[in-house]
A and B are shown apart, each in its own frame.
Chain A
């Protein structure tokens, strides 16, 4: 336990200083997020304010204010989402440096888990600035305050949980990529599925009503949608505790699966190059 914490702290430090070095890049990344958020809100407000069927907005499970807040929070929390295998790690798998990683006195899974998690956390810190900016926007574009103190605290708890879930899934996919001769395609497909089902395309509560039960308990709701529901106050009665538990159970599942697949792939590992 202390060893894993130490490994994580060391990785976080490395990634953090790497991030600081390229702070212009990080700032630019936030500008893109801000731009993206504004387009999203323009599209959503067209539906909410100008759709011919005025009752649709009334019956939707989220108000425009809640959707706008969802959009802005998403811009920061999306930093947790594994969009790809860590570039460093992928390079090591492709060019054979994975052999060097295996020599290190830290288990491969733990080492890479720390690296994956740390780099995501650094990106999250930078992208948090988008939320700060969105507080100063005017009209419909402005982010709202959390619905209540309890809501905000539960949001924080769920956010920490989301962080570990994202890292666990990122490592699950990385462990698949260890079978190097399959190439990238196999690993991208679960990553795409995760992105869509996380609610980063559209808040899950705006998806068709008959899918709601499935959407809440599939693994990727915990990426983004569950924590944000606490913040904007759209958690349905009786779903708060089950959704928090689902988040943790999926995290445990992906950590276990990642470990098993890593162990299996390391046995037959192909070290490319020298």
Chain B
């Protein structure tokens, strides 16, 4: 309970400090722009080439926005871990967290919070519902549960990605750009119709990072594209498993930490 209170207090302080800037609302606008423009090449290509087999722009955008919404939720609520490798280790700021009488993981999670990051999950949700209505899918209780499982699973998976990369950052300190493969680059894979995705990518994003498990499979079950039911409900368990592994890596990293700053 106390932990939750601290989490939300830290978030409040973060929001208030950002609102000090005169142009703070531009940051929200900026993320909205990125989110809207990111899939523009997919939309323009579909408008030029038309459907690919069974694949329409709405199907692709549904899968894509499922992944992006999960990513956005993680980015909103675990921003501290997203920033962690870049902001906390080299500067030695991590020492400060170690001194405080409060759970370490919690402190790291809420050390940063950026309100404008919420623009991504909000617009992602709007696209999901728009695509579902265009595809003529009617949501019943079961389907809503699968959808919620997928979104929650996505959030947990990407939170896991951040926690894992933070853990690994203890060892690598500066060579961090590979992180983009599992963050920003990873959901680009959903832009490719699954039948034409190279096997290697498909397997990596199913069995190593369960990104397609929280996007493509639930979408397929909800809209009835032919994947078996059990693959659609695997989103949450797979995400939790992935997070557990990530958490172990984070703990190992923390144990190995040697301060670099002053």
Contacts and interface: CB of A to CB of B under 8 A. Distances in A.
B191 A185 contact: no
Contacts, number: 132
Nearest to B34: A192
B9 interface: no
B171 interface: no
Contacts of B22: 181-183
Nearest to A39: B188
B178 interface: yes
Contacts of A52: 50-53
B198 A28 contact: no
Contacts of B178: 28, 31-32
Nearest to B86: A87
Contact of A185 (B23, B44, B48, B197): B23
Is chain A's binding surface mostly helix, strand, loop or mixed? Answer: helix
Contacts of B28: 185
A253 interface: no
Contacts of A183: 18, 21-24, 26-27
Contacts of A20: none
Nearest to A30: B177
Nearest to A51: B49
Contacts of B40: 196, 201-202
Interface in A5-60: 22, 24-25, 27-29, 31-32, 35-36, 38-40, 42-48, 50-53, 56-57, 60
Residues of A in contact with B, size category: 35 or more
A47 B56 CA distance: 11
A208 interface: yes
Interface string A194-238: 001000011000111000000000000000000000000000000
B138 interface: no
Given A53-B49, A60-B48, A46 B177 contact: no
Contact of A206 (B30, B48, B185): B48
Given A35-B181, A36-B185, A196-B40, A56 B50 contact: yes
Interface in B189-217: 189, 191-193, 196-198, 201
Given A22-B175, A43-B42, A57-B49, A185 B192 contact: no
B141 interface: no
A57 B52 CA distance: 12
Contacts of B21: 181-185
Contacts of B188: 36, 39-40
A16 to B, nearest CB: 17
A43 B48 contact: no
Contact of A22 (B37, B174, B180): B174
Given A39-B201, A201-B37, A206-B45, A185 B27 contact: yes
A50 B26 contact: no
A192 B177 contact: no
Contact of A51 (B34, B52, B180): B52
A186 interface: yes
B45 A42 contact: no
B198 A192 contact: no
Contacts of A42: 192, 196-198, 201
Contact of B189 (A27, A29, A39, A201): A39
A102 B180 CA distance: 36
A153 interface: no
A124 interface: no
Contacts of A36: 185, 188
- With most chain A CB atoms within 10 A of its CB, the pick from B25, B47, B185 is B185
A21 to B, nearest CB: 9
A188 B38 CA distance: 15
Nearest to B25: A185
B50 A53 contact: yes
Interface in A84-117: none
Contacts of B26: 182-186, 188-189
Interface of A: 22, 24-25, 27-29, 31-32, 35-36, 38-40, 42-48, 50-53, 56-57, 60, 181-186, 188-189, 192-193, 196, 201-202, 206-208
5 contacts: A47-B48, A50-B53, A53-B51, A60-B48, A192-B30
Closest 8 CB pairs of A and B: A185-B26, A183-B21, A202-B41, A182-B23, A185-B27, A51-B49, A46-B196, A24-B175
Interface of B: 18, 21-30, 33-34, 37-38, 40-42, 44-45, 47-53, 116, 174-178, 180-181, 185, 188-189, 191-193, 196-198, 201
